[in-house]
Amino acid sequence: MTAQYGQNHGQQPHPYYGAPQSPYGAPPPQGPVRPRILWIVLSWVFFIVTLVVGAVIFAAGVGSTIANIGEIAPSSSFQGGETVKVNLNPADSPAIWAAAGQPTDVQCQVTGGDASQQITLEKATGSQTLSYNGTDWEMLFTIGVPAAGEYQVACDGDGVTFGVGKQLLSAAGGAMGGMLGGMAAFIGLAGLGFLTAVITTIVVLVRRSRARRRMMGMY
């Protein structure tokens, strides 16, 4: 018998070829850093908008103050020795003014259509002056009338220019109120816009820094 000699060659396992595995685990996710810088830009744009709006409101308050001064100053004038007819209303706190820089040793009189009307004329307290349309006015007398209507005003004073307007102190509250209100609105809006921009900038920068650390695997 012939012996058969041979060798049994079995199936060898195929080696695995693939991407090498990182010994540190899966790589950190990649992508854009959040939140975006756009939020910082928008927050400072918002601050600029609040500045503009506040400035507009402040300008409106200043304009209101100038308008109030125009209502206080005499709208027309007359010379010493003349008698003029004017409409007076006690709610307006009427007053007689004279161009400043002229002699104030003058006399004035206010009369109505009814002789029984109680009309008062009192010297102004202290020195109350204002400038309007290039004329410096000084308030001389306050006028007290019982009711709204037409009255006659006469003043004596050589070379003195007179006018009938409103009492300065009584109208100063409204005039200053407009300016102070506009200033408060400007400061409030600008402060709100600035605070919002600063907080947004800090929050965005901090979160972006944390996001970068996470992307680099630095937790």
| 155, 102 contact by CB (below 8 A) | no
The domain locations on the chain are 38-68+175-215, 73-168
Q: What is the DSSP letter of 3?
A: P
Is residue 186 over pLDDT 50?
Answer: yes
d(CA 175, CA 181): 10
d(CA 67, CA 70): 5
Which burial class, exposed, middle or buried, applies to 197 when counting CB atoms under 10 A from its CB (0-12, 13-18, 19+)?
A: buried
d(CA 61, CA 55): 10
* List of E strands, 7-157: 77-79, 83-88, 94-99, 107-112, 120-123, 129-132, 135-144, 149-156
Is residue 101 over pLDDT 80?
Answer: no
Please state the rounded mean pLDDT for residues 47-73.
79
Structure tokens at 101: 């820089």
Confirm whether pTM is higher than 0.75: no
Q: Cα 134–135–136 angle (5° rounding)?
A: 125
Task: With residue 71 as reference, give the H or E element that holds it.
Answer: helix 38-72
| 168, 128 contact by CB (below 8 A) | yes
Comparison of pLDDT for 180 and 14, the residue scoring more: 180
Cα–Cα nearest to 164, from 137, 125, 136, 146: 137
**Which pLDDT score is estimated for 68?**
67
Residue pLDDT, tens place only, 10-54:
555 555 455 555 555 555 555 677 888 999 999 999 999 999 998
Residue pLDDT, tens place only, 134-164:
888 999 999 999 999 999 999 998 888 999 9
